[in-house]
Structure 1
Amino acid sequence: MRPLRIVVLTGAGISADSGVDTFRDQNGAWVKNNPMKVATPEGFAEDPERVHAFYNARRAQLPGVDPNPAHVALAELEREAVKAGGSFTLVTQNVDNLHARAGSKNILPIHGSLTKVSCQACQEVFDWEKNLSVKTPCPSCGARAMRPYIVWFGEIPRHFDKVEEAMMEADLFISVGTSGSVYPAAGLVGFARERGIPRVELNLEPSDNAYLFTDKRYGRASEVVPAYVRDLVGL
């Protein structure tokens, strides 16, 4: 494998093959719960216990799902890229921990993480596996002002300065399992096009911005991602 500076963007489609709910699942958690009630600052202010219960349930589901071959393939691609003298940045819109459990290292979770919580009083962030409630004291300052470490609608994605730095240096952009409708992440392929670098879409079906990609491969993430990585690495 020749040295490549690779940026990969992943969305819900990569974790869907592991059984994680997506916005498009007809019977999933996002259909049963109004996103405006459980994924906005206003919803949290209106009924924090409802929001805590929603994310407690999602956090509790994590031990019951495992990384699938797509997660594993991206971790392998990172190892091969670094070994060849290149670099690898994984930008994920997902809040599960499946990329880390598969072995990926350089992860930028722009929408936050189910396995972290933060204090609205002191702004400290903590690794977290237990339930959270309005009565939970902050381990640092003691304030009962804890919230899920999730970027809700209307909030600014995290780590985007690092995302932009990686995109400025990249010579290959890969998008996996995204709808192409959630910004600013959906704008990365356009940025890559402006820089004239190859752009690969690996998805179940064409995204909203599929026309911007130079290479497109469609099917289940657990099948198309490992196949693409094998082709790229030369295994």
Structure 2
Amino acid sequence: MRAGLIGLGMVANTYGAAFRNSKTVALARVFAPSPESRARFQERFADLGARTCESLQDMADDPRIDFVVVATPPNARIDTVHVLAGASKPILMEKPIERTLKAATVIVDYCEAKGLPFGIMLQHRARPIVSDMKQQLAELGPIIAVEVNVPWWRPQSYYDEPGRGSYQRDGGGVLICQAIHALDLMLSLTGPVEEVTAMCATTGFHRMEAEDFVVAGLLFENGAVGQLFATTASYPGQGETLTIHCKHG
């Protein structure tokens, strides 16, 4: 298969490395509005041989592209999807879908109306250990309590990029940008949450519009309880964890 990549910011490096290691998918075309971003990506991943597009429409019109990875900031998603869907290009989109539920629903509904394959990159679900966890949960009985911890660190330079950590571009801070992966994995294993009691704040470590600190108590539909701790203000940063306590272990 041949893929296109739209959006050449920080996360594009992860995709570039993935394409470099893939034996089944080749990166054929790339696009970003910024010439500097295009040049920087091409320099780092010159071995991939991907050609640069001069416009979004150029990407959409290329008949050799089997699907397109959309890794733009969330505020650039709706227009991008309309162009790609108009050309019947399947889409794999970096999380989150958009900044609000309303905007995300517009994108999902549009792709469904077009009959277009549309996926979101929430890769934690695909980790081999998750299959083991599902089997163990089935053996250990009902879920009683859940702990989600995302104690990360980001320096101020991370948020100095224009728009990062803002509601207008990103839709929020640590919850929608970082903890979303752990939350998605949790929900795939525990089922829906019925009630949330939470507080969020911006700590003194960062100058940013949105939150860099969230704590929440959770009540699940199955009666289990849980807690969430997510921050990018926990120096020097540690790995995220998901702990599930069941009746028999």
What's the TM-score once normalised by structure 2's chain length?
0.33
Higher relative contact order (CA 8 A, sep 6+): 1
- Higher Cα radius of gyration: 2
Q: Greater share of strand residues, 1 or 2?
A: 2
